[in-house]
């Protein structure tokens, strides 16, 4: 069987020759028996590049039609992020320069998981290091795959309330400014497309939904 590199290939849906399927309820990935026909068989992977935070691996796969190809996959240890909501309905946001886009971005606090670390412990640590707040209560909102087309990173997003400030302790190579912004203003910025950071968009919208459900005060 000849090996070749292709970017992507459309696989026909065995239920309807590629036509949309009208489901009565949401069916999650791999829960539909027909999804088995979409799977690629992973034959092995080799290191392509090793970095301080992430690795790139070349993964050899067999496609559903039997053809062979390779995928470039970024392996990442995962991260946690925190939507910190004050008693007055404001969100703690960090402003920091991001080399990849060569500008300062506005984000919710976040950081990489240490090996074997509980995501909630990571969230609490990053919240305190970056903003100086400690959470009296913290709850898991959701977890997101940041870009599953090529990366396995999962960010676990938490909501922190009952906040107490006792001073930030950023890492020596971490330079951030902190803003307290009304949740309603953050939501407007998200819906206007002014906030582009994915974890911040998801976290803000999830926090807004929870805040309304619980009847929390927001500005």
Q: Are strands 90-98 and 154-165 parallel, antiparallel or unpaired?
A: unpaired
Residue appearing with tokens 């396995």:
152
End-to-end Cα distance, the chain: 63
Angle at CA of residue 98, ends 96 and 102, nearest 5°: 120
Phi and psi for 207 in degrees, rounded to 5?
Answer: -65, -40
Q: Could you give the residue numbers annotated as active site?
A: 172
Tokens coding 202: 């998801």
Using only C-alpha atoms, the chain has a radius of gyration, in whole angstroms, of 21
Return d(Cα 202, Cα 104) in angstroms, integer: 19
Nearest to 91 by CA among 194, 181, 192, 31: 181
Length of the chain in terms of residues written: 219
Own/partner contacts of 183-191, CB < 8 Å, gap of 24 or more, are 183/85, 183/89, 183/90, 183/91, 183/207, 183/208, 183/211, 183/218, 183/219, 184/89, 184/218, 184/219, 185/219, 186/91, 186/93
């Amino acid at each position: 069987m000849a090996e070749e590199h292709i970017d992507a290939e459309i696989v026909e849906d065995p239920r309807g020759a590629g036509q949309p399927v009208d489901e009565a309820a949401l069916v999650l990935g791999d829960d539909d028996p027909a999804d088995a026909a979409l799977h690629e068989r992973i034959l092995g992977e080799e290191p392509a590049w090793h970095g301080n935070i992430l690795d790139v691996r070349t993964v050899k796969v067999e496609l559903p039609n039997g053809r062979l190809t390779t995928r470039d996959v970024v392996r990442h240890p995962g991260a946690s992020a925190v939507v910190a909501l004050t008693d007055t309905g404001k969100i703690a946001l960090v402003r920091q320069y991001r080399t990849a886009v060569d500008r300062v971005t506005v984000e919710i606090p976040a950081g990489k998981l240490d090996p074997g670390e509980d995501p909630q412990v990571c969230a609490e640590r990053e919240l305190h290091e970056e903003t100086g707040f400690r959470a009296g209560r913290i709850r898991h909102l959701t977890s997101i795959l940041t870009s599953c087309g090529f990366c396995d990173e999962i960010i676990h997003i938490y909501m922190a309330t009952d906040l107490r400030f006792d001073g930030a302790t950023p890492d020596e190579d971490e330079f951030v400014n902190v803003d307290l912004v009304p949740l309603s203003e953050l939501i407007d910025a998200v819906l206007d497309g002014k906030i582009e950071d994915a974890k911040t968009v998801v976290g803000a919208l999830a926090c807004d939904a929870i805040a309304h459900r619980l009847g929390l005060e927001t500005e």
